[in-house]
Every structure is written in C-alpha cells, then in structure tokens.
Amino acid sequence: MKNLFCFIFILSSCITFAQPHADDSYILLKPDRLFDGVQMHTGWWVLVKGNHIEAAGEPGSISAPASAKIIDLKGMTLMPGLIEGHSHLFLHPYNETSWNDQVLTESRAERTARAVVHAKETLMAGFTTVRDLGTEGAAYDDVGLKKTIEKGIIPGPRMLVATRAIIATGSYGPRSEVAETVLPQGAEETDGLDGISHTVRSQIGHGADVVKIYVDYRWGLDNAAAPTFTEEEIKTAVQVAKSSGRTVAVHSGTEEGMRRAIAAGVTTIEHGDGGTPELFKLMKEKGIALCPTIAATEAISTYRGWKKSVDADPAGVKRKHYIFTEALKAGVTICMGGDVGVFPHGDNAREMVLMAEYGMKPIDVLRSATSVNAAVFGLHDLGNIKAGYLADLIAVNGNPTDDIKAVKNVGMVMKDGVIYK
C-alpha cells in the first residue's frame, strides 16, 4: 500500500507540471472589478470559451451555459495578461554574475536551463507575453525556447524574440586586451548598408519577430557612449525589417543616437537616456514609443552601492527621472518594459511601480503594460478584454488604480484559456 501511495504521488506530481491545453468548455470569471485594457469597470464578468474571450460586461449581458465553471474572484481586479516590453530571459541579475561572465563562462545548456526557469517565473508573475530583446551571446536559442513553450513542453509566456540583436563591429563586448583573442560576442556584428541589410534578413530567417539594433554604445573615447551606425545604415535596417512586417527596437542612450533612430523611423527606443524635449517632440510626431527601463537603471545603481531613500540619487537615476518626465510632458507613447534580466525575472512589475513613482498615473501604467504594448508590438488579439480576444487574463488582489503595488499580488494567471495559478 505504501508503494501505491508513492506511485500516486509521483504520478500526480507529473500531472501538476505538465502543461494543460484549453478545450471548448466555458469558464465564468466573477471579479469585484475589471480593467479591460483601457478603463476600470465595477462588477463586470468575463465568459471564456476554450482559448478566447466569449463575452465581457455587466452580468445581465452575459449568458453562460449551466455547465460553465464559475470562479469567484472576491476582492480582486481582473485584467488582461501583462505584456513585458523589454526582457532578456537568457540573463540573470548582474549582482549574481556579471554580464561578461555570463557570456564567457556559462554554458549554453546552463543559460537555457535558467531561461526555462525564468519563463515560468515570468508567467506566474502575471506576464503572459514578453518581448525578449536579445539572447546576449546565446545565439538563436530564444527561438527554440519560444517554440518549446508553444508546443506545451514547458510553461511560459508568449514570446516575441529578437535573436542575436545587431551591433556595429568592434563596439560591443566582451572584450580582451589581447588583440589576437577571439571572444564570443553579446550581439551580431555588422557594417555598412549591404552588411546590415544582410544581417537583418539573416536574423529574420532564423526566427526573429523583432529586429533589435544598438544604435549607440560605450565605444567612444574613454569608453564614452557614442553612435555606432550611421543614419543611412539604420534606415536600411528599418526598411528591410518593416517590409517583412516586423518592428524595430533600438538601444539608445545618447542624443545623437536617438536623433538618427528617430529620423530612420524605428518603432521603439529603449532606455532613451539621451532624450531632450526636442527629441521627444519628434518621437511624438512620428509615433515612436519609448521603453524607459527605469528598473534596470535603479538596479544597476544599487549593485554599485546606492541605497534608495537613504543616499542621494546618482546621476543615472536623476537622468532617468528627467527623461521620463519630459517624455510624459511631450505625450510620447510609453511602453512598459524594465530590462528584466538585469534584475530578477518574476519581479517584472517592479517597472510598473516605478513608473507610477516617477509620475505616471496608475491607470496609464496599466494601459502601458496591456493595450499600449499590444498596439505598439502589433499584438492584435491581446492586451484588452474584448469578445474574440485570446483568453490571457490575470487577477490581482486589490485595486491597482488605488495602489499600483497591487499588480505584484497576483492571485490568478490564465494564458490561452488555461489556468496556471
């Protein structure tokens, strides 16, 4: 009998970790309130059939079959699954292992194993979709991770992947003082109009959903940040990417790098620390969004010894306050994305809390992490709670429009109609 109980326990454990699949059954969700991606509604219900939303609205407007499974979400807010706009699932916090050592000393097997764990942590935190902006030396393994999740082999978020990302020759890392040493690079090097055109096409051919370009980096004199690609090179990359229906995200921390990227018509600017009122005005006019990555800036400062609320803000944090404030004033579209991987996966909502702390209204933070990110990234059936949309839904305890920290208290996670939490 004891052996039988052991067998049942082992079997149940296997079932627990196997990823289920949605069928055509109905689930009726009854939260206290519902954020639909744009507005907050009190007392609305949602009816899910299979992997899509069948109906959402006032209880009297929803006809649920008698067979529907009813889930009462007392005290909770139902929301679209959150969308992480800037992730690196193949990285882990730099205070654990430096970026250089992750790229140079961790095996691809280890990095993939970590990414599998990070994917589950991300999903359990309520982020049902991520835009993963580069494997940082792990080649095209993000494509494999994405497909493994899609096949139901492991739990994780939907993924938009950038594969290797693109950098100008000689401008990235890791580096060595020995000129003859050949080291693996954290992104794919390329040069010139023909070179960047070929590289964009190659990465798309290997499975890139989004093209990521470092338009500046710390390769100037005395390691100062400086532009890497000419305006024409960036324009060429954008033309090739957009002709295939793909978006272009650019890493930029300098004024000139941002100016070139804006002129080239990129989709999003990541970090944006070189931003000025004039540049943000141009971004607004051209419909280019900013992904500010506040959480990464603060995390790196803490790794260097900064104690928030105790020490004076370092220059990088002050700069981030400035550019975020100016971008809001200019009406620039703000994408929620924290550069998670620099800080722990599963703590993605840290960025949302900081966005509110830096001056964004909580309702706008919620929009940024749902409907805004969905629109900017071209996710046409996600980011909103509407009939016909995919059933990626989460429930958080409390009301995040009253206290944005509620987004860190996730009580339910549904992705593609399947409840994971």
Single-letter amino acid, residue 34 = L
DSSP reduced 3-state for 407? helix
* Triad 84, 360, 277: Cα angle to 5°: 100
Q: What is the pTM of this model?
A: 0.93
Cβ atoms within 10 Å, residue 403 = 13
Q: What is the pLDDT of residue 351?
A: 98
Q: What is the pLDDT of residue 17?
A: 42
Q: What would the DSSP string read from start to end of 310-350? A: TSPPPHHHHHHHHHHHHHHHHT--B-----BTSS-TT-TTH
d(CA 278, CA 255): 10
d(CA 128, CA 367): 15
Domain architecture of the chain: domains with CATH? 13-80+384-419 (2.30.40.10), 82-348 (3.20.20.140)
Q: What is the pLDDT of residue 20?
A: 58
Helix (H) or strand (E) holding 190: strand 188-190
- Phi, psi (rounded to 5 degrees) for 372: -70, -50
**Any idea what DSSP says for residue 98?**
-
Q: Look-up: residue for tokens 């324009």?
A: 235
Cβ atoms within 10 Å, residue 354 = 21
Q: Answer positive or negative: Cα dihedral of 88, 91, 96, 99.
A: negative
- In this structure, the strands spanning 158-161 and 247-252 are unpaired
- Phi, psi (rounded to 5 degrees) for 248: -125, 120
d(CA 159, CA 131): 6
d(CA 252, CA 225): 9
d(CA 30, CA 253): 45
Q: What is the pLDDT of residue 325?
A: 98
Mean pLDDT by 10 residues, the chain (421 residues): 39 42 84 98 97 97 95 98 98 97 97 98 98 98 98 98 97 87 92 98 98 95 92 98 98 98 98 98 98 98 97 97 98 98 98 98 98 97 98 98 98 97 93
Q: What is the pLDDT of residue 3?
A: 44
Closest to 82 in 3D by CA, of 411, 334, 366: 366
- In this structure, the strands spanning 225-227 and 45-49 are unpaired
**Any idea what DSSP says for residue 140?**
T
